[in-house]
Amino acid sequence: MLREKLINKKIGSDKNFNWRSYEPVRLEGFSDAVFAFAVTLLVVSLEVPKTFDELLETMRGFLAFGLCFSLLVWIWYNQYIYFRRFALNDGYVFTLNALLIFVVLFYIYPLKFLFTFLANIPLGLIGWSRLEDSYNMIRADQMPALMVIYSVGYLLVFFVLFLLYLHAYKKRNFLELSVSEIIITKSEIQSSALNMGIALISIFIVLIGGVAFASWGGWIYCLVGPTMAVNGSIMGKKAKRIVDINI
């Protein structure tokens, strides 16, 4: 199992946060099966190309596949880290995890459609495909609805992560979290809340601005990287100060 290999190599470990689980639980195994199924739904083609033209057609879908795959791995990795840090496996966590994988399965086709549309534009500009193929996928008046669907999925994913980390924070005494671990847990709560906020801003932009501002509903996600970096930097320095004081 991939999780076991990552655990053995201590991938994702943090010197300021002790792991409380070194063995994947059955809930994680079930989650892995669902994520694997989601990746299967993303596969460009299940058949080996029989001609070079078919090969080129298949390769045109690799960029969209890569983008979708990266986002799925990001969600999976967040779940992996959560179980390593807290080892919580109660009914509440089971319910939230079930909701997470439900959202992932629901999210997969809108995600693939959006990234295929976006990937076809640069490919069309460099002459690898017809630019018209991208614009024929969706009408302009349908773009706001597509962005709302994407943003709702994004919002739900981070809402679940927000609730998971909030649950861990409430159990901080039971888990015997150190001061630095509490700060990192708060950072994860804030990170999820910030991602939710960006998704909400995207939805409001699209709903208020309509077709004219649909593209801005997508560009707003460029704030994710800088926002996460600032939050991580501030909370990371705070955790480091606590560690330095205790040394």
Could you report the per-residue pLDDT of 3-58, keeping only the tens digit for each?
788 888 888 888 888 999 888 888 888 888 888 888 888 776 556 677 776 676 67
User: Got the DSSP string for 222-243?
Assistant: GGHHHHHHHHHHHHHHHHHHHH
Q: Where are the domains of the chain?
A: 1-137, 139-247
**CA pair distance 68, 109, nearest whole angstrom:** 10
Question: Average pLDDT for residues 236-246, to the nearest whole number?
Answer: 67
Give 147-184 pLDDT, tens digit per residue: 999 999 999 999 999 999 999 999 999 999 998 899 99
Q: Does the pLDDT of residue 191 top 60, yes or no?
A: yes
Q: Which residues pair with residue 17 across a beta bridge?
A: 14
Helix (H/G/I), strand (E/B), else coil: 17 = strand
Least confident of 2-6, 124-128, 159-163, 189-193: 124-128
Residue 206 is which amino acid?
A: V
Helix (H/G/I), strand (E/B), else coil: 24 = coil
CA 150, 143, 105: angle at the middle one, nearest 5? 25
Looking at every residue in the chain, the average pLDDT score rounds to 84
Give 75-123 pLDDT, tens digit per residue: 999 999 999 999 998 999 999 999 999 999 888 888 888 888 777 765 5
Cβ density class 216-229: b for 16+ within 10 Å, e for less:
ebbebbeeeeebbe
The DSSP call for residue 1 is -
> Any residues with CB less than 8 A from the CB of 70 and at least 6 apart, and which?
none
Give 54-77 pLDDT, tens digit per residue: 676 677 677 778 888 888 999 999
**CA pair distance 199, 191, nearest whole angstrom:** 13
Q: How would you class 162 by CB atoms within 10 Å of its CB: exposed for 0-12, middle for 13-18, buried for 19 or more?
A: buried
Q: Does the pLDDT of residue 247 top 60, yes or no?
A: no
> Any residues with CB less than 8 A from the CB of 170 and at least 6 apart, and which?
none
Place of tokens 């990170």: 191
The DSSP call for residue 11 is T
Helix (H/G/I), strand (E/B), else coil: 15 = coil
- Tell me what pLDDT residue 207 has: 93
- Tell me what pLDDT residue 174 has: 94
